[in-house]
Amino acid sequence: MKALEINNLSFGYKDSGQLIVDDLSFDINKNEFVTIIAPSGTGKSTLFRLILGLLKPQKGNINILKDGNKNIIGYMPQKDSLMPWRNILDNTAVGLELNGYSKKEARKVAATYFEDFGLKGTEKYYPHELSGGMRQRASFLRAIVNNPSIILLDEPFSSLDALTRRKMQSWLLDLCQRQSNTVFMITHDIEEALLLSDRILICTELPYRNLKSIDVNIERPRNYETTLSSEFIELKRDILNVLDSLEENKGGI
């Protein structure tokens, strides 16, 4: 079953005349973790804004698996964007409130996730009282608490220091291996993509037209020892070769 289908999608910014997406088609299966890799500043976030409905495509269509009568999309931006005037429990419950839950009901549902997300004991804290990693956990919980059809992660750990980023990658890896979620992530970190993903999409030219798909056929469960395996190193080499060839190709990035 397809969680996301993008068919012949085209979009460009009128003020700059720059075409970002040109007749792009791809899909993501339900419960699949897919990552797109491309250099910064090449329009990856624009693709997310199109999926979220914040931008209107000039051509083509986007189909998202329906959850009942709703197309629910979870979204986690690069920075946590938690509301400073709400405590952590209320921050994670806000999406439920927007979907018709009372504040009391929303808090009750959100609270059931806190132990699994390593947030137990932080319910009454405010965002400025938590570390960057803990704020990102809360941000991810806010994205997932509505049981969305698909979760969009826009370079979720790029603002963290190297040690915290590694801890958060391990945490997300463990969480996704225990739960069944459909995830579409943006990153330019090849090791992060290989560690977390079932499949990696690489932009082969700009505007976005063709995406090279690479299956990450590395057995799960995975951990950081996986990054030392011959399979992992070979796949990383393959991706680097593709990216290197794009830089050498004048028609590419």
Residue 250's pLDDT is: 45
pLDDT (tens digit per residue) in 10-39: 999 888 778 889 999 999 999 999 999 976
User: Exposure pattern of 136-150 as b/e (b: 16+ CB <10 Å)?
Assistant: bbbbbbbbbbbebbb
Residue 1's pLDDT is: 86
Tell me the mean pLDDT in the region 132-154. 91
Class of domain 1-65+150-237: alpha beta
Q: Tell me what percent of the residues of the chain surpass a pLDDT of 90.
A: 57
Nearest CA to 72 among 98, 38, 45? Answer: 98
* Lowest mean pLDDT across 136-140, 152-156, 159-163, 219-223: 159-163
Q: CA 46 from chain center: how many Å?
A: 13
Tell me the mean pLDDT in the region 43-59. 91
CB 22 within 8 A of CB 208: yes
CB 195 within 8 A of CB 177: no
pLDDT (tens digit per residue) in 86-121: 999 999 999 999 989 999 999 999 999 999 889 999
The domain limits of the chain are 1-65+150-237, 73-146
* Cα–Cα distance list, 230 to 9, 169, 237, 241 (Å): 37, 20, 10, 16
Highest mean pLDDT among 37-51, 126-140, 204-218: 126-140
pLDDT (tens digit per residue) in 184-203: 999 989 999 999 999 999 98
